[in-house]
Amino acid sequence: MGSNSSEPFPTSFKFLIAGGFGVGKTTFIHSVSEIEPLTTEETLTVASVGHDDLTGVGDKTTTTVAMDFGRITFNPQNIVLFLFGTPGQDRFWFMWDDLVDGALGAVVLADTRRLEDCFAAVEFFERRGIDFLVAVNQFENGFRYQPEEVRQALDIKPHIPVVLCDARDRRSAASVLVQLIEHVMVARAL
């Protein structure tokens, strides 16, 4: 059996992409995944009235009801990231406990128009000791704040990175993931 010994053996990690309803988790995974992402998007209907607060999410017509899944490989290190996007609505939070199992870290996406919606995700990862960073998704009609202003508003510890991103842009989303890998390596002294 011929094998190329110069190619490093793949190292894989599970990361969660989390945040509030309508913050861009599905978009983030779609923009960066090298495979066709698995999504569990369903159309918002009148049944969601009273359950889903659509304030500040524009023309959103679908929502994740279970999870999103994607994969990205960083070469030449041959690091494979398996990305699991969490549902954003409170009524689907029971799934987070299963999704977090085996996760090395998480991205908490934040929307400055609804910054309070990411408090629960930040608290979830802090309580479970999961390394995470906050990525502020720069919506066109969103408020513009510097990372330190967001850190202060969310009362996030100084060692947790807060970065700006555009979830629609592959390079921006990939940069967030690289920063998360670096953060996890430093935090765990890998």
User: What is the tens place of the pLDDT at every residue in 115-138?
Assistant: 999 999 999 999 999 999 999 999
Within a domain: 53 = yes
Examine residue 4 and state whether it is found in any structural domain, yes or no: no
φ, ψ dihedrals at 87, nearest 5°: -70, 150
The domain that holds 15 is classified in CATH as 3.40.50.300
Q: Given a cut of 80, is residue 161 above it in pLDDT?
A: yes
Average model confidence (pLDDT) across the chain: 85
- pLDDT band for 4, please (50, 70, 90 cuts): low
| Residue 37 pLDDT grade (very low, low, confident, very high; cuts 50, 70, 90) | confident
CA–CA distance from 88 to each of 12, 23, 53, 136, 167 (Å)?
25, 8, 11, 16, 16
Residue labelled with tokens 């908490």: 108
2 falls within a domain: no
Query: Could you tell me the pLDDT band of residue 48, with boundaries at 50, 70 and 90?
Result: very low
Helix (H), strand (E) at residue 99: helix 96-100
Expressed as residue numbers, the domain containing 36 is 11-187
Q: Is position 85 within any domain? A: yes
What is residue 41's predicted lDDT score, i.e. its pLDDT? Answer: 58
**Would you say residue 182 lies in a domain?**
yes
Catalogue the E-assigned strands of 32-175. 41-43, 62-64, 68-74, 79-85, 105-110, 131-137, 162-165
Instruction: Answer yes or no: is 3 within a domain.
Output: no
Per-residue pLDDT tens over the stretch 69-95? 999 999 888 999 999 999 866 666 677
Q: For the chain, what is the domain count?
A: 1
Nearest Cα residue to 20 out of 50, 59, 71, 63? 63
Query: Is 100 within 8 Å of 16 (Cβ atoms)?
Result: yes
**Residue 165: inside a domain:** yes
- pLDDT band with cut points at 50, 70 and 90 for residue 1: very low
The stretch 156-178 carries a mean pLDDT of 97
Identify the pLDDT of residue 121. 95
Cα 167–chain centre separation: 9
